[in-house]
Structure 1
Amino acid sequence: MSTLDLKTARTVIAAARTHGRSAELKPLTVVVLDAGGHVVAAEREDGASIKRFEIAVGKAHGALALGMGSRAIMARAEQQAFFVAAVTAAVGGSLIPVPGGVLVRDGAGTLLGAVGVTGDTSDHDEAAAVAGIEAAGLTAQVD
């Protein structure tokens, strides 16, 4: 697979939401971006608070912008706060440096895109993203 198509994105979203329901997470918003940062698919569960779409996009977009999962971006922000603030400004604010933004790779290691999840704690958001990616037979990169 060299692109992240709509069918695969829908599989990722469905599995991430299923994980969220089975783990009794708060309502989630899940966004799947292709490698160019374009939205392939997104869903906001009933009861999710406002602006969750933008937060999920920011997690996924930030991962793509820096080539690392948003957990790794958070660690970098703790060490280089000015750098991450500058990057956030450079990308128009679309970078959320907390877990929940996960890069998506195929079996050959090719970058296909990223998934952003928000709605519960950042660790739980990341777990839902990973579950969705793996359910689609792809590889999740959180670091």
Structure 2
Amino acid sequence: MAEISTSKARTIIRKAMAKGEQMGFKPLSVVVLDAGGHVKAFERADGASSGRFGIAQGKAYGAVMLGMPGSAQMARAEQQAYFMAAVNGVYGGQVVPVPGGILVRDKRGNLIGAVGVTGDTSDNDVIAGMAGINAAGLTGDA
């Protein structure tokens, strides 16, 4: 099974944070999970609130566990709230079904993990996350 390397995870975080700073976003927090939902790397910018790890992790965890990005999870929650409530029950309340949870694929299209970004608007979180993923030479599904 393909997996995301620690080096790639660090690149994603570094470049996502840089994109946020460049665009004047609020302080971001970024987590990278492997395909099994385990943390590979995390960073919280100076000034970001301390609770941001849980939000970033929940965005990424929902993406990788369900195989759908945060935008698709949010649409599903709006259409079938009971489904997302059940999913959150299954996963112990760890799913945050909003944009900013991005699936990560390698050059062959294999799912290798997910990125969760939080701190600014969900749309801006996605912009930063995709910049990091692309900089690492990977593909993101937001």
SS at match of 2:19: helix
Counterpart of 1:87, as a letter, is V
Shift of 1:84: 0.4
- Partners of 2:70 and 2:137 in 1: how far apart? 21
Q: List structure 1 segments (4+ residues) > 2 angstroms apart after TM superposition.
A: none
Structure 1-normalised TM-score?
Answer: 0.97
Shift of 1:64: 0.9
- Partners of 1:139 and 1:74 in 2: how far apart? 21
Alignment-derived partner of residue 10 in structure 2: 10
Alignment-derived partner of residue 42 in structure 2: 42
Alignment-derived partner of residue 79 in structure 1: 79
- Partners of 2:89 and 2:49 in 1: how far apart? 24
Alignment-derived partner of residue 60 in structure 2: 60
Structure 2-normalised TM-score?
Answer: 0.98
SS at match of 2:103: strand
* Structure 1 segment 1-143 matched on structure 2, within 5 A: 2-142=2-142
Q: Could you list the runs of 5+ residues in structure 1 that have no partner in the other structure?
A: none
Give the CA RMSD over aligned residues: 1.0
Q: Could you list the runs of 5+ residues in structure 2 that have no partner in the other structure?
A: none
Aligned residues: 142
SS at match of 2:47: coil
Shift of 1:2: 2.0
Identical residues among aligned pairs (%): 61
- Partners of 1:73 and 1:36 in 2: how far apart? 18
